[in-house]
Amino acid sequence: MKASCQEIFCAVANSLGLSRMLRHRRRKDILILMYHGVVEDNAPFKRWTHLPASRFAWQMEWLRRHYRVLPLQRVLAAMQTGSTLPDNTAVVTFDDGLQNTYTRAFPTLKRLGIPATVFLTTAYVGTGKLPTSSRIFLALRSSRLRRLDLRDHGLKDFQFDTMAQRDAVADEVRSYAKNIAFETKLALLNDLEARLEVDPARYPEYADEFRMMSWQQVKLMQQSGLINFGAHGSRHEILSRLPHDVMRSEIVDSCEEVRRQLGIEHVTFAYPNGRRQDFPPEAKQMLQEASASCGLSAIGGLCSTGDDVFELKRVGVGNNVGRSRFAAMCSGLGVR
């Protein structure tokens, strides 16, 4: 309902010309879009992070008509030197490094000639392993049971019948798991899978939509000249929740792995989760020490040339964003 109301509001705003006026007024600002995954239109699940392929294609076509889409590195260079960028400059980014970025997003980007930067969760690239949050989601969808008692882990005794209820439980458990140590998270995940009586090796076929790319796929995209790569932490741990030495390892190890695999000197970086409370000031210093060239957040908004390049705002695009809302969000309207 909330998404529908926002879409209606944005449709009215667009019909009155407000989005176009705001886009002109903020033409010197920089729009950095944040995506995650792209799936088939008839995918048997819905996640905010996974856009239908036709919607993503329309958004890229619209973006090419109304913006000058540039590589992130060119925009960073202009921000650091004070040089002028074209009006209505935009940047396309993807977090995580899901393999459907290669199989579905990349063909659209190639067709339209749109550059993008993909931030890799390096410990999962090329392994075929599922991140912990994805395993929670898939375990609840795969189980034949209708109850999951996690009170001994500080959660609840959950009961569920419909797939929507299972997805809601998965969201609650995933939210909780984001804020605990990695080893504690693994213990929770192992207990969850055991209690739900599921075998991770037998998750449904659409589990592949949550797996990361191989390094071969990464290198093929890089060779196209359109796609650049940065780091997104080793295991997608929220930096502010980590001890100082573990946080440094998450940052440095992921930057070094991207540098080693792809021969990149100055690696770009996107903070896992990316809210303001998710990366402390020390993280920025660690990025600079690791020769990273920037830090992209998930804080909503447009950027200006004088902004701190280690706390760049982005506009996150999820699968609940329709045409009217996308046009409005790109202008900065209703972005948080």
pLDDT at 1 over 60: no
- Average pLDDT of 201-219? 95
CB atoms within 10 A of CB 205: 7
Q: Please enumerate, as own/partner, the contacts of 49-56 that have beta carbons within 8 Å and a separation of 24 or more.
A: 49/96, 49/318, 49/319, 50/100, 50/209, 50/319, 51/317, 51/318, 51/319, 52/319, 53/104, 53/108, 55/319, 55/321, 55/322, 56/104, 56/105, 56/108
Query: Which H, E and C letters describe the chain, residue by residue?
Result: CHHHHHHHHHHHHHHCCHHHHHHHHCCCCEEEEEECEEECCCCCCCCCCEEEHHHHHHHHHHHHHHCEECCHHHHHHHHHHCCCCCCCEEEEEEEECEHHHHHHHHHHHHHHCCCEEEEECCCCCCCCCCCHHHHHHHHHHHCCCCEEECHHHCCCEEECCCHHHHHHHHHHHHHHHCCCCHHHHHHHHHHHHHHCCCCHHHCCHHHHHHCECCHHHHHHHHHCCCEEEEECCCCCCCHHHCCHHHHHHHHHHHHHHHHHHHCCCCECEECCCCCHHHCCHHHHHHHHHCCECCCEEEEECCECCCCCCCCEEEEECCCCCCHHHHHHHHCCCCCC
pLDDT tens readout for residues 303-313: 999 999 999 99
pLDDT tens readout for residues 226-251: 999 999 999 999 999 999 999 999 99
- Average pLDDT of 152-160? 96
pLDDT tens readout for residues 62-82: 999 999 999 999 999 999 998
Average pLDDT for the chain: 95
pLDDT at 336 over 80: no
> pLDDT band at 333, cuts 50/70/90?
confident
CA atoms of 45 and 275, how far apart (whole Å): 26
327 in Cβ contact with 14 (< 8 Å): yes
Give the per-residue pLDDT at 189.
95
Give the per-residue pLDDT at 300.
97
Highest mean pLDDT: which of 12-16, 176-180, 227-231, 325-329? Answer: 227-231
Non-local CB neighbours of 103 within 8 Å, separated by 6+ positions: none
CA atoms of 219 and 227, how far apart (whole Å): 9
Residue 332 identity (one-letter amino acid):
G
What's the CA angle centered on 60, arms 71 and 22, to 5 degrees? 85
Give the per-residue pLDDT at 269.
98
238: which 2 tokens? 């929220």
- Average pLDDT of 30-39? 98
Give the per-residue pLDDT at 3.
65
Give the per-residue pLDDT at 2.
64
User: Sign of torsion, CA 111 39 279 326?
Assistant: positive
Higher pLDDT, 179 or 294: 294
pLDDT at 334 over 80: no
Higher pLDDT, 80 or 92: 92
CA atoms of 45 and 285, how far apart (whole Å): 39
